[in-house]
Structure 1
Amino acid sequence: MSGRMELSLLMLVLVSFCEGQNWNAPDFCRNKLCPQFTAAVQHQGFEERLYVPTEWITTKIDNLKSIDLMAANSRLKRVAGDSADYWPVLITVTNGSDASLSWFVPPNTAKPEMTDPSVTLQSRPEVTVYVRVFGGTPGIDNGQENVKMLCGALQEAGKSCTDTYSFAFYGSYFSITHHNEVWFDKTQ
């Protein structure tokens, strides 16, 4: 075997062995699959994270009331099944009223069959987001308060807020402790 071929085979073995091994999910993922990111810069009151491209199953939320959130969650559960147990659950709000609920679809997992036309598979490109972490029971009111705090911290740092933001919830509503986040897309 030529030296070139041996080197190619060795590289192939090393790459396949190392794939996915270079990132350790943070504790708040609670030993579940969650989107891979790199924390780039820590600021006063927020951090910047670079997320790899991701896929999500997504459905529209009619409005940000509990009954509508539960209906959206039920639609995603019907499509993905009970086995889809990944973090985070993402609520994205645009212009203060248009909203969607998304569940993360980890790489190398089977994509759910889209049997409900109101549920779509959404691919998101690599993105840098501004993140504020907060505790407390996951909810829209708690999230909205943290949107205001993140926006204030961004403005103090000379950055701007956008009309689109996301709430990321990592854990069951019934957990004793909660890790929640609010995200602003840096590129918008």
Structure 2
Amino acid sequence: MMGDKSLIVLCLLCIYGCSVTVEQRAYGGHQNPAICRSTKCPKYKVLKKYEGFEYRLYEPSNWVMTSLSDNNDITCADRLSKYMDGFNEQGIKIEMTSPVVIAFSTENASKDVVLFFLPPEVGCPFPLDNTVHCKKIPAVPVYVKSFEGNHGVRYFADQATALARELGALKKPFVGSFFGCNRYNNDHHSNSFHNEVWLLGSEPLDE
């Protein structure tokens, strides 16, 4: 179960509108999850479906990150966007990916970070900005609750709380608490989004 010292809040942001489709696209041998359409995003497989949510396993992946401390999320996103636009040691330009992760630690604000996913074929080009860093994240299991509509942060927090209660009722262990505003819309003018909240799982992966 979740302990107060391990509580972390994640806000997952899709900066650019992404169409929802059942289609899956491959890039560089990587099978793109359908929800991302042509936007590159971390690969996962569904371990188990429950009523109202599912348990996913995300594969190991590379991310580029910067601290949110003393900055706002827009400034951090701009810094990471500059990296993606070629401000790295190799001068590689990387197409925008999703999701963008804003990770908030409820214990220590200095640990708050913003992360962009890096496609597997580009690795992690060394950043030229010393406030930007590469991080390899190992395989991670995540409980995911999806819902539609255009909602604010409070609604996402409520959905994360509801998911935590559902997991508690099923006696499913999880480490930390995460809520997300990962949004995918049908077009750039739509006000209706596909959304997800995440809770980091600790259930044995062979179940």
TM superposition score normalised by structure 1 = 0.72
Backbone CA RMSD of aligned residues: 3.0
2:198 alignment partner in structure 1: 183
Distance 1:24 1:162, change over 3 A: closer
| 1:1-188 matched pairs, under 5 angstroms | 20=29, 23=31, 25-26=33-34, 28-62=35-69, 68-81=72-85, 83-95=94-106, 98=109, 99-109=112-122, 111-137=124-150, 140-165=153-178, 167=180, 169-171=182-184, 176=190, 177-187=192-202
Letter in 1 for 2:67: K
CA distance in 2, matches of 1:143, 1:72: 22
Percent identity between the aligned chains? 25
Instruction: State whether residues 32 and 41 of structure 2, in contact with CA within 8 Å, keep that contact through their aligned partners in structure 1.
Output: no
Shift of 1:49: 0.5
What does the per-residue CA deviation read over 1:102-129, in whole Å, with 9 as the maximum and x for residues that have no partner?
Answer: 1110111263441222221111111211
Letter in 1 for 2:98: W
Distance 1:25 1:163, change over 3 A: closer
Between Structure 1 and Structure 2, whose CA radius of gyration is higher? 1
Q: Which runs of 5+ in 2 are unaligned?
A: 1-27, 86-92
Instruction: State whether residues 129 and 184 of structure 1, in contact with CA within 8 Å, keep that contact through their aligned partners in structure 2.
Output: yes
Shift of 1:54: 0.6
Shift of 1:69: 1.4
Instruction: State whether residues 88 and 168 of structure 1, in contact with CA within 8 Å, keep that contact through their aligned partners in structure 2.
Output: no
The number of residue pairs the alignment matches comes to: 165
CA distance in 2, matches of 1:53, 1:102: 15
Shift of 1:143: 2.5
SS in 1 for 2:120: coil
CA distance in 2, matches of 1:112, 1:135: 36
Shift of 1:29: 0.3
What does the per-residue CA deviation read over 1:64-96, in whole Å, with 9 as the maximum and x for residues that have no partner?
Answer: xxx811122111112222853111112223336
Shift of 1:60: 2.1
SS in 2 for 1:167: coil
CA distance in 1, matches of 2:119, 2:79: 19
TM superposition score normalised by structure 2 = 0.67
By percentage of residues, which structure has more helix? 1
Question: Which of structures 1 and 2 has the larger relative contact order (alpha carbons within 8 angstroms, sep 6+)?
Answer: 2
Letter in 2 for 1:77: S
Which range moved further: 52-61 or 89-98? 89-98
Shift of 1:167: 2.4
Letter in 1 for 2:36: C
Letter in 2 for 1:89: V
Letter in 2 for 1:42: K
